């Protein structure tokens, strides 16, 4: 068990639908500073969080593709009343950003004053290694 549950819980997006061995590329990508999605080899749809199977054409043959890092904020929320595991954090902003590929990503938005955040804001999707070594990704100032 972690002695620092607050930091550990900062990872808000979990790749949970894929057996652990098949997510390796995702975590390796974050280490290299890239955020990977999966792309169906048959119908070419892109999935984020990565999916093992394509719900569209039911194929199980997926490629890993690095996402473009340019995103535009579609929705956001400023979280003041934090969940128990986030009590030690300052209030934070969580946003949904749309990438060029048309994929939507849910992540923390950092590096902006709340007054600057608006729908349509251009941000960058960035892989990040936290102080405890945990890998995550967030939206930052481009």
Q: Choose, by CB under 5 A, the member of 24, 32, 33, 57 that binds Zn ion.
A: 57
- Least distance in angstroms from the C-beta of 56 to Zn ion: 5
Instruction: Please tell me whether residue 42 binds Zn ion under the rule CB under 5 A.
Output: yes
Q: Choose, by CB under 5 A, the member of 35, 40, 67, 73 that binds Zn ion.
A: 40
Bridge partner list, 63: 39
Whether the Cβ atoms of residue 9 and residue 85 lie closer than 8 Å to each other: yes
Instruction: Please tell me whether residue 62 binds Zn ion under the rule CB under 5 A.
Output: no
- Least distance in angstroms from the C-beta of 39 to Zn ion: 9
Instruction: Please tell me whether residue 43 binds Zn ion under the rule CB under 5 A.
Output: yes
Instruction: Please tell me whether residue 130 binds Zn ion under the rule CB under 5 A.
Output: no
From the list 112, 104, 113, 140, the residue with the least C-alpha distance to 124 is 140
Instruction: Please tell me whether residue 61 binds Zn ion under the rule CB under 5 A.
Output: no
- List strand residue ranges (DSSP E) for 1-142, in order: 36-40, 46-47, 62-66, 70-79, 92-99, 104-109, 122-129, 135-140
From the list 32, 17, 30, 40, the residue with the least C-alpha distance to 103 is 40
Q: In terms of CB distance, is 56 or 132 closer to Zn ion?
A: 56
Q: In terms of CB distance, is 40 or 107 closer to Zn ion?
A: 40
From the list 49, 42, 39, the residue with the least C-alpha distance to 96 is 49
What are the φ and ψ backbone dihedral angles of 124, each rounded to 5 degrees?
Answer: -120, 135
Instruction: Please tell me whether residue 54 binds Zn ion under the rule CB under 5 A.
Output: yes
Binding interface with Zn ion (CB under 5 A): 40, 42-43, 54, 56-57, 59
């Amino acid at each position: 068990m972690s002695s620092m549950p607050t930091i550990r819980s900062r990872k808000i997006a979990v790749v949970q639908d894929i057996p652990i061995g098949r997510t390796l590329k995702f975590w390796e990508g974050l280490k290299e500073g890239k955020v990977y999605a999966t792309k169906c080899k048959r119908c070419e749809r892109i999935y984020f969080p990565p999916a093992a199977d394509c719900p569209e054409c039911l194929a199980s043959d997926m490629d890993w593709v690095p996402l473009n890092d340019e995103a535009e904020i579609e929705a956001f929320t400023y979280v003041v009343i934090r969940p128990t595991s986030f009590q030690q954090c300052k209030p934070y902003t969580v946003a949904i950003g749309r990438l060029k590929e048309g994929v939507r990503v849910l992540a923390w938005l950092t590096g902006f004053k709340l007054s600057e955040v608006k729908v349509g804001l251009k941000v960058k999707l960035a892989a990040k290694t936290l102080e405890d070594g945990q890998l995550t990704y967030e939206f930052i100032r481009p």
